[in-house]
Amino acid sequence: MSKFSSSNFKDQKVLIRVDFNVPLNSKFEITDDTRMRAAIPTIKKILNDGGMVILMSHLGRPKGGPEEKYSLRPLIKHLSELLGGVTVLFANDCIGEQAYTTAGMMRPGEVLLLENLRFHPEEEKGDEDFARKLARLADVYVNDAFGTAHRAHASTAVIAKFFPVEKRMFGLLMESEVKSAEKVLHQSQRPFTAIIGGAKVSDKILIIENLLKKATDIIIGGGMAYTFMKAQGGKIGNSLCEEDRLDIARDLLKRAEEQGVCIHLPSDSIIADKFDNNANISTAPSNDIPDGWLGLDIGENARSQFANVIKRSKTILWNGPMGVFEMNNFQLGTKAVAEAVAEATQNGAFSLVGGGDSVAAVNQFGFADKVSYVSTGGGAMLEYFEGKTLPGIAAVSAL
């Protein structure tokens, strides 16, 4: 059993770093509460043990001081509902007398939500003194914000050292994120296929480099595929291309060959005469796209080419869509990949979908519960697969 699950929090004050950075509309209503829901099991476990929960989070990007539109206050009511009517107290500032007094008067079973951490510029600077002031609020520190684990901020990393080893730990969400990511990167069963898509090669170079050491197959789709096509002498029309990354693309292809990793590029593409759902549409080999046309999705052959590789895989990592899936006419490639990942998963593969747009795609197409794990942390998951140490994980794990 994990440290969190085996702990008893009776009469303990537990400070949890959550990721409540939820979207709000102009009436301050929550338009997507996924991040709040994700933290509920951790909070409930502590309350059920007879503990007290103090929650801290950031919301949006305030410019270094309090701003009404980034207040966490509008979350109180919904949080209480998600917890089945539990009393949720609020402190107008995450540190200072009001926060300390309210925390001091808490009773078991209560929750205190602190105002936005980023109203203090010290949060993002990873300021020690600010972290120490936050730490004063509680007996135990729990980090359950995987989405910010790649940031060395006061509340995500620096604070951990102010708690003894046995009093700092990951929450249930963070535990499952880390466990799933480790399963892919360090305990993968082969064949291990990484599916990398999206717009830009430049964003994905580091992840591809790191995966060359781990994967058996790397599928490259989306806009970034055309830089690879051009690097090999292909004609890509007006498709997305990063001219300054052609050498890197060639180098990655060469290294893959040397290391025996199979890189799969889309054999054909759905092409359009403009970047528009209502454009004229045709198909072409991905390395022979006429001038004036651009590849906006992988083609029919590429769909079955990629699906075949995916279906024989035992470990699958998916980051980035295969085409402009936001437009109806260019979503077949991403859908086909989602279907193949779901089928492989049903046949025993472990599949992890991570990174903003592929997560949005599996949700949109209704495949989220047909893959093994959908990560909540876009940037954090990407950095993890780039092979970087995440400060939020390192700080809690440090002895």
E strands, 221-272, are: 235-236, 262-264, 268-272
Strand order in the sheet with 315-319: 262-264, 217-220, 192-196, 315-319, 350-353, 373-374
126 part of the interface to ligand AMP, by CB under 6 A: no
The nearer residue to ligand AMP, 51 or 321, going by C-beta atoms, is 321
Residues 311-340 as x/- pattern, contact with ligand AMP by CB under 6 A: ---------xx-xx-x--------------
207 part of the interface to ligand AMP, by CB under 6 A: no
Contact criterion met (CB below 8 Å) for 297 and 322:
yes
Minimum CB distance to ligand AMP, residue 224 (Å): 7
Residue nearest to ligand AMP (CB): 198
Cα 82–chain centre separation: 23
The nearer residue to ligand AMP, 147 or 222, going by C-beta atoms, is 222
Q: By C-alpha distance, which of 348, 165, 191 is closest to 261?
A: 191
Q: Which of 198, 237, 354, 392 binds ligand AMP (CB under 6 A)?
A: 198
Q: Which of 52, 103, 134, 240 binds ligand AMP (CB under 6 A)?
A: 240
Phi, psi for residue 66 in degrees, rounded to 5: -60, 135
Tokens matching residue 104: 């001091």
353 part of the interface to ligand AMP, by CB under 6 A: no
246 part of the interface to ligand AMP, by CB under 6 A: no
Count of residues touching ligand AMP (by CB under 6 A): 15
Phi, psi for residue 349 in degrees, rounded to 5: -75, 155
The nearer residue to ligand AMP, 220 or 396, going by C-beta atoms, is 220
1 to 20, contacts with ligand AMP by CB under 6 A? none
DSSP state string for 328-374: GGG-HHHHHHHHHHHHHHHTT-EEEE-SHHHHHHHHHTT-GGGSSEE
Minimum CB distance to ligand AMP, residue 302 (Å): 12
380 part of the interface to ligand AMP, by CB under 6 A: no
Q: Which of 203, 209, 251, 386 binds ligand AMP (CB under 6 A)?
A: 203
Minimum CB distance to ligand AMP, residue 393 (Å): 23
34 to 93, contacts with ligand AMP by CB under 6 A? none
199 part of the interface to ligand AMP, by CB under 6 A: yes
Cα 22–chain centre separation: 14
Question: Which residues carry out catalysis?
Answer: 35, 200, 356, 379
The nearer residue to ligand AMP, 110 or 297, going by C-beta atoms, is 297
Q: Which stretch binds ligand AMP (CB under 6 A): 57-65, 91-99, 196-204, 307-315?
A: 196-204
**Strand pairing category for 268-272 and 294-298:** antiparallel
The nearer residue to ligand AMP, 200 or 370, going by C-beta atoms, is 200
In Å, how far are 129, 198, 200, 371 from 221, measured between CA atoms? 46, 7, 10, 19
**Strand pairing category for 140-143 and 168-170:** parallel
137 to 166, contacts with ligand AMP by CB under 6 A? none
Q: Which distant-in-sequence residues (6+ apart) come within 8 Å of 117 by Cβ?
A: 56, 57, 58, 94, 123, 134, 153, 154, 155
How many CA atoms lie less than 13 Å away from 72 in the CB half-sphere? Answer: 27
Contact criterion met (CB below 8 Å) for 303 and 286:
no
Minimum CB distance to ligand AMP, residue 305 (Å): 16
Minimum CB distance to ligand AMP, residue 130 (Å): 32
Q: By C-alpha distance, which of 163, 124, 114 is closest to 141?
A: 163
Minimum CB distance to ligand AMP, residue 143 (Å): 26
The nearer residue to ligand AMP, 95 or 240, going by C-beta atoms, is 240
267 to 306, contacts with ligand AMP by CB under 6 A? 295-296
Could you list the residues that contact ligand AMP (CB under 6 A)?
198-200, 203, 222-223, 240, 295-296, 320-321, 323-324, 326, 357
